[in-house]
A and B are shown apart, each in its own frame.
Chain A
C-alpha cells in the first residue's frame, strides 16, 4: 500500500497542494490531468526527485519521505524514456544492477527474463539511438524493472508514440502488469488512455486532486465542474421499462426512447453514455435500425478541438461530440436534422 498524506511541493512557480492518495498493492493507478496540472511533479515527489514542502509518503507502512531516490527502489520511466545514449540496450537495462555488484551470470539471467517479458531479445545489442518510439518505451520499462522495484512509475509513457503503437503498447503494459502484479502509477493527459488502463484513477487540476475513483465512477459521476468539463458531461437517461429479449440483450425505454442494451444483472434504472460515443451523421446510416434515432441540432458549442452538439431526440436532449474537421465537413447547423447511432458497447447500465 502506498499512502500519500498531505504532500505539498514547490517546483518553480508551480505548487502541488495537499495531495492525499491511497494506492493498493498491485493496483494499476492512473493520474490524469491537463498539461501543467502537476502530474510529473507528483510522480517526482514519489520517486524522491522533488523536495516536499510538507506531508509524507509511506510504502507498506514505512515512511520513505526522508529516503533519497537511490534507496527508494522505485522503477521510474520518465517522459521520452531518457535512455542513456552512450550505452547500448543491454547496458541500459543492467545500468541499475551495477551498483548492486551482481555476478555476470545473474545479470545475464535477469536481462534474459526481462527481454522475454518485453519481447526485446532482438534489440539487446542495438544502439538506443536507432530504436523506434515503441522499442524505446519497452527498453525503458525493462531498465526500470531490472532493479525489481516495489512500484513502477510511468510518466506519459505513450506521449511520443503514434496512435497505433500507443494502442498496442497499452495492451502490452496491461499484460506486464498482470504478469508481474507490480503496483503501477501511470501519469497521462490522455483520458482514453486513463480509462483503458486504470483500475482506479485520480484527476489532477492545478496541483490539486479533484476526484479519485474507478473510471466508471469518475466518468459518470464527476464530483466537480472541472472534472465534468475535463471528461465531458455524460448523457444520463432514466429508464422506466426493460425486458430481457435474450441473446444477451435487453430492450428498454430510457428517456422515452426505445434502446437495446447489453445484458445486465439486476434492474435497469439508469443508462449513461459519453458524448463521444454518440455517432452523428447527416445521411441515413445503412444496416438495421437498432439504437439509431433522428434528432434536431439545438445547440453547437466549440470546445478546444472538438464541437459539442446538443441534439433533441423525442423529449430528451442528448450531447454528442465531433472532431472539428469532421464537423466542418458535415456542414451541420442549428435546426438541421441528423441521424444518431448509440454505440452499444459504450452504454452503461445502472
Chain B
C-alpha cells in the first residue's frame, strides 16, 4: 500500500478522497449520536412503549408493508415490460416513471389531494373507500412515492438477466408466461428481495405525501415520521427522539438484510 501511494500527487489525491469520506462519516455519526446526548434514558423505554408510539409503529409497519406489496404487484410486470419490451415512446414512459422519484413528495401529495377533488376522485371515495385523511390515504401516498422507485430497481434487476436463460427456457417447452415464473423470477430473486426491502424502508420514512393526503392526526394517521413532526410541534423533543431511534433501528435492520442479499447477488 505504502509503495502504491508513494508518488506525491497520488498521496495528495488519496488523502483528499479519504478526508471527504471521513468528514461525511463524522457528520452522520455526529448527528445521530447528538440525539443520544439529548435523551433521558430512564424515560426512553416508557416513551417507546407508550400507547401513541406503539400505535405509530404498528400503523407504519402495516401501511408500509401494504404499500410495498401493492407496488410490487404493479412494479414487477411494469419493470419487466420496460426492460424487455421495445415499443414506441419507451423513453417517454421511462422518463414519466422517473418523475415521482425526483418530484417533491409534498407536491405529489398535493396532486393526489387535488385528484380526490375531481369527479372521478370523488366517485372513487364515494364508492370504493375513503382516502383523504384516512389510513388508506397513507397507503396510497406511500404507494405513489415508492412504486416508481420499485420499477427503477426492478428494471435494473431484469436488465441484468441474460436473455439467453429465457430463450433456453422457451426451447425446453415453456411458454413465455411459464418462462417468466420458472426462469426469470427465480433469477431475479435477490433483486426482488433487495427492491422490496429498499422500497419498504422508503415507505416507512415517507412523510411529505402522507401528511398532505392523510393529514397529521394523533392516533389516527400518525405514522412514525408524522409522530416525530407532531411531537416536535408540541415541543415533546424526547418523544420525538425516541421515534427517531425507532426509525434508525428499522433502517439499520433493513440495510443489514439488504447487504446480505446484494452481496450474495454479487458473488452469484
- Contact surface of A with B, Cβ cutoff 8 Å: 44, 47-49, 68-72, 74-76, 78-80, 82, 84-86, 95-96, 99-100, 129, 143-144, 147
Contact = CB atoms under 8 A, between A and B. Distances in A.
B173 A78 contact: no
A79 B169 CA distance: 14
Interface stretch (B13-21, B144-152, B182-190, B231-239): B182-190
A85 B172 contact: no
B51 interface: no
Q: Interface of chain A, helix or strand or loop or mixed?
A: mixed
A99 B170 contact: no
Contacts of A129: 268
Contacts of A47: 167, 170-171
Q: Interface of chain B, helix or strand or loop or mixed?
A: helix
Nearest to B190: A86
B134 to A, nearest CB: 42
A70 B171 CA distance: 5
Contacts of A79: 164
Given A79-B164, A82-B164, A86-B187, A95 B268 contact: no
A129 B265 CA distance: 13
B165 interface: yes
Contacts of B186: 84, 86
B32 interface: no
A129 B168 CA distance: 17
B2 to A, nearest CB: 37
Contacts of B168: 76, 78, 82, 143
A84 B268 contact: no
Contacts of A100: 173
A207 to B, nearest CB: 20
Contacts of B170: 47-49, 68-70
B178 interface: yes
Closest 3 CB pairs of A and B: A96-B172, A76-B171, A69-B170
Given A70-B171, A71-B173, 17 more contacts: A47-B170, A49-B171, A68-B175, A74-B171, A75-B171, A76-B167, A80-B164, A82-B164, A82-B168, A84-B165, A86-B187, A86-B189, A95-B169, A95-B172, A96-B173, A143-B168, A147-B172
A47 B173 CA distance: 12
Nearest to B183: A84
B162 interface: yes
